[in-house]
Amino acid sequence: MELTERKETILQILKTHHLLTIDQLEYFHPDFGHQSQSQLLLRRDINKLHETFFLDKATRKTIKQWDNNIKKTIIVALGEIGSQYVGWQRHYKRIQHQNGEVILPKKAHHILRIHDMEIQTRELLKTMDVEIRGWAYECGNGIVNHENKLNPDAFCMMEDQTNGKKYTAFFEYDTGTMDFRKRKKFPELSQKFRKYKEIQEWKPWYNKAFSLASENRFPHLFFVTEAESRFPGIPDMLTNMGLKHTVCMQDEFTLHLKEFIENMRKKNV
């Protein structure tokens, strides 16, 4: 099989995103929508990559989409050969086969929702004349790189085309399973937020290029949740820690992201 540029791009997208629905992969692929048969060509490439162990694939898996509609779709991840090709030292078998059934990882919903959040962010910012200069999924090693091992779900650097200013944000997506029996005290989440506080007080952070370039030297923290039980406990906790934040329900995320951009613009008037 010839590894065309389009196939190589599929592998690199999966290297950075780990697990994707076919619709998400099509969105992130630069050929999506630019050719009359782009969807057909991409799906054909996916099948060829799967046949040669570059990809692992699960078909007709039931997934809850961002709008909460249910859809049966294809899920893809790097296969054993694909993992070697992109330079991973070992293959993370995210799609497994057990007793004739294809099994997704327990965190599949969480992972896919983070990627949905990236798509929602990109689509909203297009309408606000803001460009994404960088988006990093699971950015603990690449962006944070601190001994406390903080690993945010995502980091984003934005450039506002209306004023030339740059803004940064961390994103955490919450399915409600962590500390799910708690309504007032959230020990696991509290531990994670204390790591954010430690990074905020860590002087080397402010020497990083993206911190020096950003209007908000420490990124705004978005905590996007599916659980109403997070209110008012999580907002109060973050306020008490002195972390600039937005805590919102999943279906209100884009409204609050828009508000963040508008507030950053007001600071620069």
Instruction: Provide the CATH number for the domain around residue 248.
Output: 3.40.1350
Do 29 and 136 belong to one domain? Answer: no
pLDDT of residue 216: 97
Q: Sheet harboring 154-160: ordered strands across?
A: 130-137, 154-160, 166-174, 220-225, 245-249
Do 217 and 254 belong to one domain? Answer: yes
pLDDT at 180 over 70: no
pLDDT at 39 over 90: no
State which of 105, 135, 162 marks the end of a domain: 105
Domain with 182, as residue range(s), is 110-267
pLDDT at 108 over 90: yes
State which of 86, 105, 124 marks the end of a domain: 105
Do 90 and 139 belong to one domain? Answer: no
Do 97 and 114 belong to one domain? Answer: no
User: At residue 185, what are phi and psi to the nearest 5 degrees?
Assistant: -110, 135
Q: How confident is the model at residue 32 (pLDDT cuts 50, 70, 90)?
A: confident
* Mean pLDDT computed over 199-225: 97
User: At residue 131, what are phi and psi to the nearest 5 degrees?
Assistant: -100, 140
Report d(CA 238, CA 221) in Å as an integer.
9
Angle (CA) 174-210-208 rounded to 5° is 105
pLDDT of residue 34: 61
pLDDT tens digits, one per residue of 2-22:
899 999 999 999 999 999 999
pLDDT of residue 65: 94
Q: Comparing 39 with 106, which gets the higher pLDDT?
A: 106
pLDDT tens digits, one per residue of 50-59:
999 999 999 9
- CA 136 to the chain's CA centroid: 7
Q: How confident is the model at residue 99 (pLDDT cuts 50, 70, 90)?
A: confident
**C-beta separation of 55 from 93 below 8 A:** no
Low-confidence winner among 38-42, 124-128, 152-156 (lowest mean pLDDT): 38-42
Do 65 and 10 belong to one domain? Answer: yes
pTM of the predicted model, to two decimals? Answer: 0.95
Average model confidence (pLDDT) across the chain: 94
pLDDT at 182 over 60: no
Q: How confident is the model at residue 96 (pLDDT cuts 50, 70, 90)?
A: very high
What is the share, in percent, of the chain residues with pLDDT greater than 90? 86
232 prior amide bond cis, ω within 30: yes
* Mean pLDDT computed over 255-265: 98
* Mean pLDDT computed over 100-111: 92
Do 85 and 125 belong to one domain? Answer: no
